[in-house]
Structure 1
Amino acid sequence: MISFVFLNQLYIYRRLSILIAFFVCLTFSVSAQQVVYFKGVVFKKNSPVTIAFASVTNLSRKNIPEVLSDNVGSFRIQAAIGDTLLFKKTEYTPQIVVIQSYSPLSVYMQAVIHLEQVTIKEVSKQKELNDALDNYKKKGQYYTLDPSVLSVLISPLSGLYELFGKAPAQARKFQQYSKQEMERIEVAKRYNKTVVKKITNMPDEDLEDFMFNFTPNVEDIRAWTDYDIISYVKRSYAYFKANRNSYKLQKLN
Structure 2
Amino acid sequence: MKKLLPLVLVLCCFVGFAQEENEMEQELQATVINAQTDFPLESVHVINLNKVKGTITNKKGEFTITASVNDTLYLTYLGFKPQKVKVTNDMFKFEDTKISLTELAFALEGVTVRPYQLTGYLEIDVKNLPINDAYQYSISGLNKSYEAGNKNPSAVTKVLGAILNPADLLRNLFGKKPRQMRKLQQMKQDDDIRNLLASKFDRETLTELLQIEKMDIDDILNNCNYSKSFITTANDLQILDAISSCYEEYKVLNRK
Structure with the greater alpha carbon radius of gyration:
1
Q: TM-score range by the shorter chain?
A: 0.3 to 0.5
Higher relative contact order (CA 8 A, sep 6+): 2
TM-score relative to the length of structure 1: 0.39
